[in-house]
Structure 1
Amino acid sequence: MSTETIWNEGDLDDLRRDFTDVYGGRTVLVTGADGFMGSHLTDALVGLGANVHAFVRATSSGALNNISHLRRDLKVHFADLTDRTSIDYLVRELCDAPDRPYVFHLGAQAHVGESWHRPYETVMANTVGTLNLLQSIVDWGLELEKFDTAGTSEEYGNVRDDVTDHHTYDDAGSLILHERSPINPKSIYATAKVAADFLTMNYYDAFGLPGVVTRMFNNYGPRQNPRYVTGTIVTQALTRPEIELGALEPLRDFCFCTDGVRGHLTVAAHGRPGDVYVYGQGVNISMADWADLIVRTGVEQGFWPDDRRVVTTEARKRPGSSDVMALRVGHEKLTLETGWQPRISWEEGVLRTIRWYAENRERWIGRVDWLPTGSPQLAAGS
């Protein structure tokens, strides 16, 4: 396996022990394969010996940012979820596979903040794109082993007063979110993902398409877009003394990307069609404490000096009352059915994430939404 991958030999040994019998030699489609989570999942599937078809959004350059090291090990399909014709070409080709393919549907516009700036693109990619893929599979009669739609913890939103008693709380009164917890999406992104989840279940009910939904809780790690909170903390700390963030009070349940990939592989291998599975670290942390953990780790490991400070800016807050205040998963269902557990601690995950950003500056410096000290040209997109 290429040195580009974050999967070390121990990780790979565990993957092969748990999943080679399931995915080795099997046909697999990954949408969003060049994205953050999609690329790590693609890495894992190639390492397991799967016959991987990578669905990548077509651009004029045809550049692959995260899976170029796998170019000889898989088949890339440059297509677009919002273009039904390109999806039909792909599904028609998969009909010639010698087995029933697995589909991991991770392709999406996945940034909450961007969904307010690009609402139509978000709904088209996340909802209509999912519909296009599901309908094409039905129309062409493609028989699948499993269809995993990647949902999000953002679908739960905040607790509504009228359904408080439908939620689960621990002994200290903290909210725990399960598969059947009421949903209350607070962003266009979350609403579009709710629709994608329900469409997956609709096609299971109507056509027997073996769909499952995986709601992941706040994945983070190498290759993530630096505009997400973990990346924006790390990249600012690597570049300047002041780290600008939005609200510091919200609580999030952060799960390292390799644990997230194992969640997808586990649910697709063992999950029941027509069912929903949630997973994450199982504990949460405030944005203020998450930033403090990252900054302290970077200082202790020598990635930046000890003069870093966090400040709140209004421009980085979510609009109006749309922020989600507390996300924490209860993954008992997945654990009881399959034995899945998170394996990477926050301390280890944060260190691995910082190291990647520090060693791959050219991969993110042109994508940040803040101005590095002494670099006015960055604002112009150079």
Structure 2
Amino acid sequence: MDLYTQLAERPTFVTGADGFVGSHLVDRLVEMDADVHAFVRATSSGELKNIRGHGEALTIHRGDLRDKHSVERALRPLAEHSDSLLFHLGAQAHVGESWDRPYETIDTNVVGTLNLLQSIVDLDLDIAAFDMAGTSEEYGNPNEEMVEKYEYDGNDRVLLSERSPVNPTSVYATSKLAGDFLTMNYHDAYGLPTLTTRMFNNYGPRQNPRYITGTIITQALERDIVELGNLESKRDMCFVEDGVRGHLHVALAGNPGEQYVYGYGENVSMRDWARTILDVGAEAEYWELPEIVQREERFRPGDSDVEELLVGYEKLHEETGWKPSVPWREGIARTIEWYANHPEKWYGRVDWR
């Protein structure tokens, strides 16, 4: 039986629904004929960037995660059901900006998560699953005092799993870790069917151009130099469609009260990631090969950078069948195509001008 047949007409509630991963999740839920409730941040314009085209296939709830009244009001329609799935993807999700906007990051990611969980309790909602989207950044760099707690692959690289110690090195990572613990607290105290997921470095169409992949692509489209921060750090890059499938597999087949981590299962230095992106774009004649330059002013502050992230996703695969399906070069090609064809979506949002 196809796992996704469980989604037909099923109530689903998505925070951050108009954002990068959230909008791709909404696409998939609409495709599967789910009853989708999209929670989006209220703005003066009320404009939707990514999910407007779904029209009446969505129920839009405008509010703010930091405002419990608007959260509770949006969740109230779920009281009529007992099988709702909640996907909590709304967040201030940029590491660099968490240093520039630390109070907003904590308010949104910690207080916002608390508002959701407490509203579920206060409304006495009978839900099927609450998926809290965490981040690989929660692992940080290996803690030398806990070296015996880590697992290693055949090349002596730290392989991060659900059992690995956490060591957040940014306001963003700390805020997401707090959200994870709150999510588990409400499982232990109230029996909520909560699960936490830690995605490893999603990339793809619609992503904010201030993230590494968009930064590389937008610079290459506009000029003959690509300026980046630390080129030696390594990340496990997972295409957004695989990331969405991970959320769905966890919510539909995961065990409440548990954590699931996933990604591509291989990592790459940011130097080699940039080179691969530029090679793929040059082959498709989007640009000639620009020069890659490392700039210290683009580094994370102090000692807060994470040197290397690599995931072991065996638990998710064994329990739900999930595994990544989009190779890096294919995902990169699809991402370049989107940025090239939608300059109006990113032109005023880059941080390299």
Q: Same fold (TM over 0.5)?
A: yes
Within 5 Å, which residues of 2 pair with 1:136-285?
136-285=119-268
Q: 2:61 aligns with which of 77, 96, 99?
A: 77
1:375 is matched with: none
Shift of 1:20: 3.5
Shift of 1:90: 1.2
Instruction: Tell me the alpha carbon deviations over residues 58-77 of structure 1, each in whole angstroms, 9 at most, x when there is no partner.
Output: 11110000101112210110
Amino acid paired to 1:363: K
Q: 1:331 aligns with which of 313, 321, 325?
A: 313
Amino acid paired to 2:35: N
| Inter-CA distance 47–19: structure 2 relative to 1 (3 Å threshold) | farther
Counterpart check, 1:346 vs 2:328:
yes
Distance 1:18 1:230 in 2: 32
Amino acid paired to 1:51: D
Counterpart check, 1:67 vs 2:22:
no
Distance 1:342 1:329 in 2: 12
8 Å contact from structure 1 (residues 88, 136) kept in 2? yes
1:360 is matched with: 342
Name stretches of at least 5 consecutive residues in structure 2 with no aligned partner.
none
Q: RMSD across aligned C-alpha pairs, in angstroms?
A: 0.9
1:378 is matched with: none
Distance 1:25 1:91 in 2: 17
SS in 2 for 1:89: helix
Counterpart check, 1:304 vs 2:284:
no
1:49 is matched with: 33
Name stretches of at least 5 consecutive residues in structure 1 with no aligned partner.
1-16, 372-382
8 Å contact from structure 2 (residues 265, 311) kept in 1? yes
Counterpart check, 1:288 vs 2:271:
yes
Amino acid paired to 1:326: E
Shift of 1:291: 0.2
TM-score by length of 2: 0.99
Distance 1:126 1:19 in 2: 30
TM-score by length of 1: 0.91
Shift of 1:170: 1.4
Distance 2:220 2:332 in 1: 13
Q: How many residues align?
A: 353
8 Å contact from structure 1 (residues 149, 214) kept in 2? yes
Moved more, 226-235 or 69-78: 69-78
8 Å contact from structure 1 (residues 20, 49) kept in 2? no
Q: 1:317 aligns with which of 278, 282, 299?
A: 299
Distance 1:153 1:20 in 2: 26
Counterpart check, 1:134 vs 2:111:
no
Q: Percent identity?
A: 58
Distance 1:41 1:141 in 2: 26
SS in 2 for 1:158: coil
Amino acid paired to 2:294: T
Distance 2:148 2:4 in 1: 43
Amino acid paired to 1:343: S
1:115 is matched with: 98
Instruction: Tell me the alpha carbon deviations over residues 193-247 of structure 1, each in whole angstroms, 9 at most, x when there is no partner.
Output: 0000000000000000000001000000000000000000000000011111000
Moved more, 143-152 or 99-108: 99-108
Shift of 1:279: 0.3
Instruction: Tell me the alpha carbon deviations over residues 148-206 of structure 1, each in whole angstroms, 9 at most, x when there is no partner.
Output: 00000000000011001110111221111000100000000000000000000000000
Shift of 1:107: 0.3
